[in-house]
Structure 1
Amino acid sequence: MMKYGYVLSLLSVSVFAQQPESGRLEKDTIQLNEVTVRGYETNRPLVETAASVNVLSGKELTQRFGTPALVPALNTLPGVRMDERSPGSYRLSIRGSLIRSPFGVRNVKIYWNELPLTDAGGTTYLNALDVRAIGRVEVIKGPAGSLYGAGTGGTVLLSGPGSGTTAREYSNQAEISALVGSYGLQGQNYSIQTGKNNAALSLNYGHLQSDGYRQQSRMYRDNLSLNGTFAVNSKQTISVMGLYSDLAYQTPGGLNATQFRANPRQARPSTPAVPGSVAQGAAIYQRTGYLGFSHQYRWNDRIQNTTVVYTSLTDFANPFITNYEKRTDQGVGGRTVTRWQVVEEGVPTQLVFGGEWQQNFTVDRNYGNRAGQPDTLQADDELRASQSVLFAQLEATLPLGIIATAGLSRNEVAYRFTRFSVQPVIGQLRGFEPVWLPRVALLKKLGEFISVFASVSTGYSAPTIQEVRPSEGTFNPALEPERGTNLEAAVRGQLSRFQFDVAVYQFKLRQTIVRRSVESGAEYFINAGATDQKGVETQLAYRLVVPKASNFWQTVRLWNSTTVTNYRFRNYQQGTADVSGNRVTGVPPLVTVSGLDAETRVGLYAHLTHQFIDKFPLDDANTVKSDIIRLLNATVGYRKTFAKRWVVEAYVSGDNLLDQTYSLGYDLNAFGGRYYNAAPRRNFTGGLKLGVRW
């Protein structure tokens, strides 16, 4: 208890979201009252937003850490955990356990420039994105079904550089960069942004590759993204967004404790019964194309509509220990949102309403794996997924600084499964009853820079396609959706140089979906009782200096982000054993991240980040726990502007400077105790950037 008391006495922090950058060469600001939040379609300052929301700017995504990846940046936020078991293999959890996510992103809804990136089957190819092409990340924590559909974890809104600006506000600029690092890390990035009159265009190409720390963990990714905005007239704006990603990464597999202690760099070895990762060429090969269109129409000063449509195609191949999976995902969908300022005077009232529809068609074939090559056909399946959401939200600004919000949505999900590799061919339909999800929130401003809020929201998360048809190869029509209710209260604000955000919540989840695995490592999923999830999330930041043009120190800021949780199983069965009362698998009781950011007038800057992760259970029985993790990262750089248009930047960054052997991503409830995926020991990255504006 002593260590928790000490941490809570510090409370906590983070860098509060900063405004979206109009260009990469622009500086960020950190004024809380200037941070505009897009979540729940409020477009209000953060201090007037009745929800737990964190924002990361482009600088926080690409400057604080030397390696261009979402993982370290997102892990600075309270309540957010992102894993990378091997380079390119992402897992993301918001206020929840990873027992449902052996890999990938589940139970979190993600949007890219207002387009749904999470498909109708619940799959998000987040690793297809290059962080260098992202200008802003906004994380909404807790159930957001009243506006964003099914999901009990949270919602992530991603925006490209310059997103939300008009063509006239775009600056003409270009940037090239290169980096090298330990374990064969290297990459390049090229971007150009231009705007003239009523048209603007942003193009970004990035390449990244690594030999990996472990055996069988090489990775490469090529990413091309395009964002074009065209003002048709004073009322209409059309945008086009395109993405192509070619990603490949090897998967070394989990180790048991003995193997991990003896040689953490080895891949999963072969046994007399099952071949290992190297022998089977275990890897992921993923090509993703995404094309979306957005149309914004401003009827008048009070009513405007944004409608987006998209199509996507992913070609996926996964030579695994026991089989070789080939999958093709084709997705299509759209979303429309209308914002209506119903009342402008007296009690200003805004109504937001709209809908979202998605459909996915998946062809999934499993073959035998003969040393990394597909062999005999084992299963030939087709899956169709459809998902629809209708939503409405009313927000009123009442007297005495009170803002009231009430939202409601109707959610419907259905899957159709057909297996052609058996006779007779029989299709199976799994439909879920439509669910209504309400959310109510009340916020009170205490002066200009401080507010308190409370909210009640409901969550609903249908099984994803990868859960009703997992790698174990069977179709499970009996798997039920998760359902839950979240109660939350928070206070946030700014007192001179001090910023704070403290939130407490209790989330009760029923029909919890959990992962089980067989000896080969293939997984399947079951519903196993309920969980009671209580948490405290705090953020604090203190500016040691006030920026002035004449000062040598332009920015010196201390910050900390802390998450304290008490997640417990309720009415929870593991086979014949009742594990009710145990801690929920994969959730640390304490995570605290602290940092120091400094920038000078001459262009020198430095970032220091320390992360502490307490022990947490790796199995539902709580018989095995992780090691305590302490990570130290430092980045030092120099950025200088010449002739008012040229910008040169150089930096060096060190990660895991305490040289700890640890696992950044455990395989929870793993068969045979193969929990561990070793992360790199002490490593370094250096890079150069050159930018020009005209």
Structure 2
Amino acid sequence: MKTFFTACLIAFCFSGLAQDKQDTTKRLKEVVIHPYFSAQPLMRSTGSVGTIDQAVLSRQPSNSFVSAINTISGVRMEERSPGSYRLSIRGSLLRSPFGIRNIKIYVDDFPLTDAGGGSYFNALDVAAATGIQVLKGPHSSIFGANSGGVILVQPQGATPDSTALALKIEGGSFGAFREDLSLSKQFHKYSFNLTQAYQRSDGYRDHSAMDRKYFQTLQKWDYAKNVALKALIFYSDLHYNTPGGLTEAQYLQNPKLSRPAAGAAKSAIEQKAGIYSKTLYGGISHNWQITDYLKHVVAVFSSYTDFKNPFISNYEKRKEFTLGLRSYLEYGKKYTDLSLKFNLGAESMRTSSDIDNYGNDFGTPGNLMASDQLKAGANFAFAHLSIDVLNKWLFELSASANLYKYAYESIVPIAIAARTNRFDVQLMPRLAVSYMASPDIALKASVSKGYSPPSISEIRASNNVINVDLQPEYGWNYEGGIRYQLPDNRLFIEVTGFYYQLNNAIVRRLDENNAEFFINAGGTRQWGLETALSFWLVKMNASKLIRGVQLRNAYTLSHFKFEDYIDKTDDFSGNHLTGVPKTMCVSSADIQFPKDFYLFLQHSFTSRIPLNDANTAYAKKYHILQTKIGWKNLRIGRVPLEIFAGADNILNQKYSLGNDLNAFGGRYFNAAATRNFYGGVALRLNKL
């Protein structure tokens, strides 16, 4: 909290002193978002939207999305070991011990989240994205079942009217190496981008190596007037070892250690524990501006994932196939003092999962222990009405009807004929408004209902039992906020408060074999405060020693507690939500010098984290300091070059990033890397 107010004080104190007279009329670029089908200024958005543009991505380490996404208040991303992501929005870590739950992810027009609720976000490479928008809180009214929020990833596209070639190579501590190559071309009516990336690391801990091979192409063809086709294809081949959680004693004695053998259980190294995941994704969308007022968009998409997971107690193989369609009509018309926009559409997808579990014989599949086939169907229809009055009032009313079902058939150890489990149709409304009280101040308020059925990975967890009793979680979210922005866009401040009442919260449990399963934990009551600050302490200029200084801050206060949560004989009612820190604060300074030299500094604070529902074990608070320096537009002949170097965890903090919640035997801790460094070179050629 102190960091936030300090940043604000510095910003206001120096706002008049640091400005160059020749730049007083120069306007900085306004932030524009695309949260609900069309572009709008961030100031006028009715919801809480966090943005990460290419400039932010370029300053963060490119080996992971973690550092960049954590610059958004209310969002927490973790990485238990290189490649092993966990992501939550407003406290949804309860459900995400492995992967991502109750969050819907889209890449351009296409859902990355499958019908079974799984999102292979770690399949994507940072180089394949130019920006990310995070819609915080339930958005089931537009994007289908989610109780946490929505993430919209903008992939690399073509460079207008030119050919561009970009190459970046970097290396760092713990055997880190990565390279990415991008080629873009714009023809008259056709454009394409090809992105290739390779990344590897030995990891800080024993048995935590990873490598990923990635290829992506985005192509667009304006084949007729007001009509366009777009195609997205990516292939990801990802492997990472999983070192496993440590007890507090093991963590304090040697945080680099992977999980050792204990009793009859072998060690992570002996069992060659890890993830092998190959994903092929493809989608085609068609955008037709039928008239000045009417537009139709349709997208078809499909994915296939071959997934293998040798684990301590078993060896799992999964083959998943998804096929889906999303389509909507949009009608929009402007009057003198009124603008209307209405969307009507539907999304439907199916995911089939063949899951086999074998004994793990030192990293080799043994005898077949369990075999199941599951099919998930996620369908919803939606309507969205937006009314803009006098460019001051913006009213949004939307709703969706969600239908979710899954079928399951067991083959081994006991044959069970195919059965279907359907959840009741859920109506998800959202009502929101924003008001421009003045050119500098905007007010916003919304109420929405969230809904998220259990994912296939929770229904059929690693204990190999199909849990037909697991129910969806749902709840109402109420929020309001204020935004302030100077006329020249130099200063932006946003403060949002919300209350989320979640019912049937899904939480994780581990049995004595370290196999996970999930239960419904009654309700949670989540009060939260989120703030965002962006301030140009020194506006961009061409004459001063310091050519520009931008300060950013994101602060999160989470007062989240269980309510009416009784597990057998244990009463956890009133306890703090597991895995959720009470406060997080991220502050950064981006400093520009002459000749395109830059210095970037970022400080992150995370308060202590409850590791079990009983709140008897906590991970300690920690501070992380990062920096990056670089020199852009160096020249080798006519080739522009950038060199850069960075450091992470400069304070050499001992902390756990990605705790195993409610871990059996107290194996909560996954130690993050100590102080480490990286450096590299990048070049970009335009108009070849």
- Shorter-chain TM-score tier: over 0.9
Aligned to 1:674, which of 652, 667, 672? Answer: 667
Aligned counterparts, 1:67-466, within 5 A: 67-162=62-157, 169-399=160-390, 401-466=392-457
- Structure 1: which amino acid aligns with 2:579? G
In structure 1, the partner of 2:52 is: 56
- Return the alpha-carbon distance in structure 1 between the equivalents of residues 8 and 574 of structure 2: 28
- Structure 1: which amino acid aligns with 2:306? D
Distance 1:256 1:639, change over 3 A: same
Aligned to 1:37, which of 33, 45, 54? Answer: 33
Percent identical among aligned pairs is 38
- Return the alpha-carbon distance in structure 2 between the equivalents of residues 413 and 198 of structure 1: 40
In structure 2, the partner of 1:649 is: 642
- Return the alpha-carbon distance in structure 2 between the equivalents of residues 393 and 11 of structure 1: 38
Distance 1:605 1:33, change over 3 A: closer
- Return the alpha-carbon distance in structure 1 between the equivalents of residues 188 and 384 of structure 2: 35
- Return the alpha-carbon distance in structure 2 between the equivalents of residues 170 and 569 of structure 1: 55
- In the alignment of these two chains, the number of paired residues is 670
Q: Could you list the per-position Cα deviations for residues 332-379 of structure 1 after superposition, in whole angstroms to 9, with x for gaps in the alignment?
A: 101112221145333211101211001001110000000000000011
Q: Could you list the per-position Cα deviations for residues 499-536 of structure 1 after superposition, in whole angstroms to 9, with x for gaps in the alignment?
A: 10110000000001000001222100000110000000
In structure 2, the partner of 1:541 is: 534
In structure 1, the partner of 2:482 is: 491
- Return the alpha-carbon distance in structure 2 between the equivalents of residues 121 and 433 of structure 1: 17
User: Contact between 2:4 and 2:553, CA under 8 Å: does it hold in 1?
Assistant: no
In structure 2, the partner of 1:693 is: 686
- Return the alpha-carbon distance in structure 2 between the equivalents of residues 198 and 353 of structure 1: 29
Matched residue SS, 1:39: strand
Q: Which runs of 5+ in 1 are unaligned?
A: 16-29
Q: Could you list the per-position Cα deviations for residues 147-167 of structure 1 after superposition, in whole angstroms to 9, with x for gaps in the alignment?
A: 00111100000011237xxx8
User: Contact between 2:358 and 2:368, CA under 8 Å: does it hold in 1?
Assistant: yes
User: Contact between 1:402 and 1:442, CA under 8 Å: does it hold in 2?
Assistant: yes
TM-score, normalised with respect to structure 2: 0.95
- Return the alpha-carbon distance in structure 1 between the equivalents of residues 108 and 510 of structure 2: 36
- Return the alpha-carbon distance in structure 1 between the equivalents of residues 32 and 299 of structure 2: 22
Distance 1:110 1:32, change over 3 A: farther
User: Contact between 1:552 and 1:602, CA under 8 Å: does it hold in 2?
Assistant: no
User: Contact between 1:236 and 1:298, CA under 8 Å: does it hold in 2?
Assistant: yes
In structure 1, the partner of 2:611 is: 618
- Return the alpha-carbon distance in structure 2 between the equivalents of residues 188 and 397 of structure 1: 46
User: Contact between 1:65 and 1:633, CA under 8 Å: does it hold in 2?
Assistant: no
- Return the alpha-carbon distance in structure 2 between the equivalents of residues 644 and 535 of structure 1: 54
- Return the alpha-carbon distance in structure 2 between the equivalents of residues 224 and 162 of structure 1: 14
- Structure 1: which amino acid aligns with 2:146? G
Matched residue SS, 2:307: strand
Distance 1:245 1:12, change over 3 A: farther
Aligned to 1:529, which of 501, 522, 527? Answer: 522
Shift of 1:388: 0.6
- Return the alpha-carbon distance in structure 1 between the equivalents of residues 515 and 28 of structure 2: 46
Matched residue SS, 2:538: coil
Question: Is 1:658 matched with 2:651?
Answer: yes
Question: Is 1:574 matched with 2:570?
Answer: no
- Return the alpha-carbon distance in structure 1 between the equivalents of residues 484 and 552 of structure 2: 15
Distance 1:646 1:345, change over 3 A: farther
User: Contact between 1:12 and 1:559, CA under 8 Å: does it hold in 2?
Assistant: no
CA RMSD of aligned residues (A): 1.8
- Return the alpha-carbon distance in structure 1 between the equivalents of residues 414 and 443 of structure 2: 61
Q: Could you list the per-position Cα deviations for residues 226-259 of structure 1 after superposition, in whole angstroms to 9, with x for gaps in the alignment?
A: 0111011112100111000000000000000000
Distance 1:451 1:42, change over 3 A: farther
User: Contact between 1:33 and 1:47, CA under 8 Å: does it hold in 2?
Assistant: no
Select between 198-207 and 42-51 the one with higher mean Cα deviation. Answer: 42-51
Q: Could you list the per-position Cα deviations for residues 532-569 of structure 1 after superposition, in whole angstroms to 9, with x for gaps in the alignment?
A: 00000001122111223334433201221100110011
In structure 2, the partner of 1:514 is: 507
- Return the alpha-carbon distance in structure 2 between the equivalents of residues 676 and 220 of structure 1: 23
Q: Could you list the per-position Cα deviations for residues 285-319 of structure 1 after superposition, in whole angstroms to 9, with x for gaps in the alignment?
A: 00000011011100122211221111100000000
Aligned to 1:558, which of 524, 547, 551? Answer: 551
Distance 1:493 1:31, change over 3 A: farther
Shift of 1:69: 1.3
User: Contact between 1:320 and 1:369, CA under 8 Å: does it hold in 2?
Assistant: yes
User: Contact between 1:162 and 1:170, CA under 8 Å: does it hold in 2?
Assistant: no
In structure 1, the partner of 2:497 is: 504
In structure 1, the partner of 2:593 is: 600
Shift of 1:187: 1.1
Aligned to 1:473, which of 446, 464, 472? Answer: 464
Shift of 1:43: 1.4
Distance 1:441 1:616, change over 3 A: same
- Structure 2: which amino acid aligns with 1:148? F
User: Contact between 2:75 and 2:89, CA under 8 Å: does it hold in 1?
Assistant: yes
